Structure 1
C-alpha cells in the first residue's frame, strides 16, 4: 500500500472533512445522510474527495460520489483528487468515473508527474503511465483532440480580431497609424 502525505496543519472543524481524513466511512455516511455538503472545502480548497483519495479511502470516495461530490473539483493549486491520489484502486475509481488522466494543475503538472515527484509506489506509477498511454492512443485514433479545439478557438479569435481591426480602419480611414 502506498501513502501520500497531505499536510493537515490546517486541521478542520468540519466533521465531514475530518471523517474523510480519518477514513471513518460510517460517520461520513451519517453526515452525508443528514445533509452535509459533499463538496465542502477546507482552507486550501480541498474537498472530502481530495482528502479521502489522498489516503486511499476508495469506499469514502465512492460514498461522496454517490452523494453528489464533484469529481472535477480542484483545490487552490488546481489539483483534482487524482493529483493527490497515490493508490491503485482509488485511481481506477476516479478514472472510471470520468476524471481525465492528463488533466494539469496550475503548475502544469499531471497526476503522473506529481506521483513521480512524491515517489509513490511503482504500481501506481505503472498504472498512471498505462492510463496516459491509453489516452495518447485514443488521441491518435482520432479522438477529439485538445489541440484541434485550441487551434479552432485560436483561429476564431484571430478571425474576430481581424474583423474588428478592419472595421476600425473602415470607420476611421483618415487616422494616421504611424
Structure 2
C-alpha cells in the first residue's frame, strides 16, 4: 500500500508514542522533559511526530518540535508526518516549519494524493491543493528569474567582449560614467533645489549675454550701413 492507516497503531509499548496517539500532552511533556528521545520510532518507522500529526494533535507536534523532533523524518514507506496529516491546523504547522508540500514517498505519492485516498475532510484537501498550487507558481517564478539572470549575464558578457574589441568605445563609456558619478555627487552635496536654482540663473545669464551680443552686433551693422550711405 502507498499509505498507512493510523488505526493499526492504537496501542504501542513505547510510552511517548502512545502519548502522541492518545493526545496526552502532559504525559508527553513529562517524558520529553526527562530526556525521552523525541525521534523514537515504532515498528513501521513512524516517529511521535507522525502519530501526533495523523491524529491532529498539533500541540504535541509543537512540543515535539521544541524538543528537537526531526520534521523531515520519514517512515519505512518514505512518508513524512505531512503524508499522514488530515487536519488543517497540523498541516499549517508542518508546512510553516519547513515541510515541503510536494515531497513524495517511496511510491511517488504526495501528501495531497494520500489525503484524497484516505478521504480526509474537505478543508484539509482544499488547503493542501492551495499549498501545492502556490508551490508550482513559486517554482515557475523561480525558473523565470533564473532565465532572466542568465539572459542578463549573457548580455553583459557580450557587451564586455564588444568593449574589448572597441577600446575607444570603452574609454568613452568610462568618461561618461565618471561624469555621471561626479554630477550625482554634486547634486547630493548641494541639494536638488539649489542645483535647479543655479541652472536657472545660468540659463538667464546665458540668455542675457546672447541678447547683448546679438544687440551689439545689430547696432554695429546698422551703424556701418548708415556710415556707408
For the aligned pair, the TM-score class normalised by the smaller chain equals 0.7 to 0.9
Map 1:142-161; keep pairs closer than 5 Å: 142=142
Of the two, which has the highest radius of gyration? 2
Structure 1's unaligned 5+ residue stretches are: 145-178
8 Å Cα contact 2:53/2:61 also seen in 1: yes
Q: State the alpha-carbon separation in 2 of the partners of residues 74 and 92 from structure 1.
A: 18
Secondary structure, in 3 states, of the residue corresponding to 1:94? helix
Q: State the alpha-carbon separation in 1 of the partners of residues 97 and 133 from structure 2.
A: 18
TM-score when normalising by structure 1 = 0.76
Map 1:3-152; keep pairs closer than 5 Å: 5-9=5-9, 11-142=11-142
Secondary structure, in 3 states, of the residue corresponding to 1:108? coil
8 Å Cα contact 2:10/2:21 also seen in 1: no
Give 1:11 shift: 3.2
TM-score when normalising by structure 2 = 0.59
Structure 1 or 2: more helix by fraction: 2
Which string of whole-angstrom CA distances, capped at 9 and with x for unpartnered residues, describes residues 89-114 of structure 1?
A: 00000000000000000000000000
Q: State the alpha-carbon separation in 2 of the partners of residues 77 and 9 from structure 1.
A: 16
* Bigger RCO of structures 1 and 2 (CA < 8 A, at least 6 apart): 1
Which string of whole-angstrom CA distances, capped at 9 and with x for unpartnered residues, describes residues 34-60 of structure 1?
A: 000000000000000000000000000
How many pairs does the alignment contain? 141
Structure 2's unaligned 5+ residue stretches are: 145-229
Q: State the alpha-carbon separation in 2 of the partners of residues 102 and 23 from structure 1.
A: 27
